[in-house]
Structure 1
Amino acid sequence: MFYGAAVWDPYLIIAQIVCLQCLYYISLGGFTAVLIGTRVSRLSLVYFFDYVTVSTSTVTGWCVIASFTFSSLAGAVFMLYLVQRSRKCLDFSATLYIVHLLICIIYGGLPSSITWWVVNGTGFAVMAWLGEDLCRRRELKEIPISRYRSIV
């Protein structure tokens, strides 16, 4: 990608959003399988989209919270490779969590748990901040220039 080109490409943006959303849910599924799969007899989409499972009163609820937290960290790394621009990380993080909220509303209704809002709000902030930081570090990296230039 050329950073100087200011071309608006909606197909690229939609593809990046879809890829980021898919990678987020794949990582959430992996962390959920590892952390919750050993505690419950059967995994289901309830642990992804139902706000009732995000709870601090049970060990399984804490595992769900940990899964969401680790997935937001992984999402920041995914943005480093997919988005590659620090100024776009906030937009992509917000889009990801808005889409997640809409899916949760369709699946189980509007989340009424304060814990769900805190976990997802914190996940959004961590993903945006860490994604911006990682992308900024990559953008500010020195460009290696060979010491000896060939004279033509």
Structure 2
Amino acid sequence: MSGHFRYTQWDPQLIVSQIITIQALFYTSLGVLIYISDCMTGHSPQLNHLFNYQELSVKSGHGRLIILSYFLNALFGAFVLWHLVQRAKPCLDFSVTTHVIHLVMCWLYSGHFPWGMWWWAVNILCVTITCVCGEFLCLKTELKSIPLTLSQRTEV
């Protein structure tokens, strides 16, 4: 342990609980954002808007709002990583894991692999946004000054 700034230990329970929490917050926030976009455009809320890759389209106003919801959710995901993971190094792992699980969920929901160009472009950009912004926030916190004294400074 000596010579290490921060003691890290392999803790599978912590990692799995972080993945579950991040995934739950990912779907909750994305669901709320898509619900708001559905209300704005007069569409009825459906799981298709969350899991059907064909809904991500720039041809309709509703499709563009769903894409915007994904991007806003990516920013929210960065804050989730900042609060739950608190370290820059695993941000890429958690970002990719979240979107790979989303890929599997979309595949299971629709019954076929998502081949849509816009689905892939949006999700790759979202992974990038979540990872880069999450790493930035975590690094900002990690690089704060570390107090070396335990007592308050007194003027003599």
TM-score (normalizing by structure 2): 0.89
Superposed displacement of residue 147, structure 1: 5.2
What residue number does 1:111 align with? Answer: 114
Superposed displacement of residue 107, structure 1: 0.8
Please give the root-mean-square deviation of Cα atoms over the aligned residues, in Å: 1.7
Instruction: Extract unaligned runs of 5+ from structure 1.
Output: none
Superposed displacement of residue 40, structure 1: 3.2
- The aligned amino acid for 1:61 is G
What residue number does 2:59 align with? Answer: 57
What residue number does 2:153 align with? Answer: 148
Q: Secondary structure at the match of 1:57?
A: coil
Q: Equivalent residues in 2 for 1:1-152 (5 A)?
A: 4-108=6-110, 109-144=112-147, 148=153
Aligned length, in residue pairs: 148
Instruction: Extract unaligned runs of 5+ from structure 2.
Output: none
TM-score (normalizing by structure 1): 0.91
Q: Secondary structure at the match of 1:93?
A: helix
- The aligned amino acid for 1:120 is N
Superposed displacement of residue 6, structure 1: 2.4
- For 2:39 and 2:10, the matched residues in 1 are separated by 43
- For 2:103 and 2:44, the matched residues in 1 are separated by 24
Q: Secondary structure at the match of 1:117?
A: helix
- For 2:71 and 2:153, the matched residues in 1 are separated by 47
Give identity over the alignment, percent. 35
